[in-house]
């Protein structure tokens, strides 16, 4: 019988405050007399982007592998590729895979108009805007200063893919970064939105929930790396270890759509 060799290499690129999930993603193979099929399982809610590298001797791929595969959350036996076993000849193979959270093919819809993520008739200052000098350098993120316990609304609809709400700790130092409570929502264009610094047990939705634009999803707080209570909002995607964030248009009032400016006050609508 031909001798088989295989090896795996795994790289999980962690993301901001990502909840640890052991063994939520795996790649494996199954073999018949004629074919080796490589599969992926994703038991988490987040989609995963996977690159696959093959080292084949005597085997041929049934199809050319793509640059990357997108494995949706809560799916199993996603076939990546078939390898054809030659008849009567020796063969062996190795495969390596890297993966990271999110969709590599995400393209932000720059025409989408976001809703201000707080209640109608509430007015809060935007104390740090895109590429802000305090903690947003190189990031298209927004900070709205507000007291703890204020209602946070979904700025855009989508699926809840991650939640952290167990922390009661916050401080104005990077040492508190991992203590920030958050909700992460996957949009229909593949981008993600983070609502960060929520109060302990302040999530009002669960992973897997579909939420609508304007839905009440959380309560504000000051957990994590924060000098005081505020909401940190950011829309982004990942390409490997690189986070790409986006400026987002908002419905500023019933007659005005535009980008928010640091130092101004905005009223929910």
Q: What is the pTM of this model?
A: 0.87
204 and 216 in contact (C-beta within 8 Å)?
yes
Task: Encode pLDDT of 143-163 as tens digits.
Answer: 999 999 999 999 999 999 999
217's tokens: 């999803």
Which backbone phi and psi does 115 adopt, to 5 degrees?
A: -95, 140
Which pLDDT does position 137 carry in this prediction?
66
Residue 136 confidence class, pLDDT cut points 50, 70, 90: low
Which pLDDT does position 21 carry in this prediction?
44
121's tokens: 């008739």
User: In degrees, to the nearest 5, what angle opens at C-alpha 103 toward C-alphas 108 and 231?
Assistant: 60
Give helix then strand counts, H and E, for the chain.
0, 24
Which pLDDT does position 94 carry in this prediction?
96
Q: Give the mean model confidence (pLDDT) for residues 112-134.
A: 92
Neighbours of 77 (CB within 10 A): 10
Residues 6+ apart with CB under 8 A from 26: 40, 41
Which backbone phi and psi does 256 adopt, to 5 degrees?
A: -135, 130
- CA-wise closest residue to 243 among 155, 161, 142, 139: 139
Which pLDDT does position 133 carry in this prediction?
73
Q: Which domains does the chain have, with CATH numbers?
A: 12-101 (2.60.40), 113-267 (2.70.70.10)
What is the spatial distance between Cα 102 and Cα 187, in angstroms, rounded to a whole number? 11
145 and 124 in contact (C-beta within 8 Å)?
yes
Residue 9 confidence class, pLDDT cut points 50, 70, 90: very low
Task: Encode pLDDT of 41-67 as tens digits.
Answer: 999 999 999 999 999 999 999 999 999
Give the strand order in the sheet containing 69-71. Answer: 12-13, 92-101, 48-57, 69-71
23's tokens: 């063994």
Which pLDDT does position 23 carry in this prediction?
80
Instruction: Using the predicted structure, report yes or no on whether residue 13 has a pLDDT greater than 50.
Output: no
Instruction: Using the predicted structure, report yes or no on whether residue 22 has a pLDDT greater than 70.
Output: no
232 and 225 in contact (C-beta within 8 Å)?
no
């Amino acid at each position: 019988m031909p001798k088989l060799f295989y090896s795996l290499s795994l790289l999980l690129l962690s993301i901001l405050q990502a909840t640890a999930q052991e063994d939520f993603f795996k790649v494996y193979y199954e073999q018949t007399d004629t074919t080796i099929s490589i599969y992926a399982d994703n038991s988490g809610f987040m989609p995963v982007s996977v690159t696959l590298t093959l080292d084949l001797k005597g085997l041929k791929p049934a199809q050319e592998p793509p640059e990357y595969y997108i494995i949706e959350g809560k799916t199993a036996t996603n076939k990546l590729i078939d390898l054809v076993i030659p008849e009567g000849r020796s063969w062996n193979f190795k495969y390596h895979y890297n993966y990271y959270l999110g969709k590599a093919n995400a393209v932000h819809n720059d025409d989408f108009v976001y809703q201000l993520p707080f209640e109608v008739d509430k007015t809060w200052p935007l104390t740090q805007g895109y590429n802000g000098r305090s903690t947003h350098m190189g990031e298209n993120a927004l900070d709205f200063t507000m007291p703890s316990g204020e209602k946070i609304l979904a700025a855009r609809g989508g699926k809840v893919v991650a939640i952290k709400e167990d922390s009661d700790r916050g401080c104005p130092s990077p040492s508190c970064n991992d203590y920030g409570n958050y909700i992460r929502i996957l949009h229909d264009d593949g981008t993600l939105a983070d609502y960060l610094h929520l109060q302990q047990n302040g999530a009002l939705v669960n992973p897997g929930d579909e939420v609508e634009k304007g839905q009440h999803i959380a309560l504000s707080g000051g957990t994590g790396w924060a000098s005081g209570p505020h909401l940190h909002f950011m829309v982004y995607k990942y390409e490997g270890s690189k986070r790409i964030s986006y400026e987002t248009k908002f419905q500023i009032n019933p007659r005005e759509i535009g980008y928010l400016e640091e130092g101004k006050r905005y009223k929910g609508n």
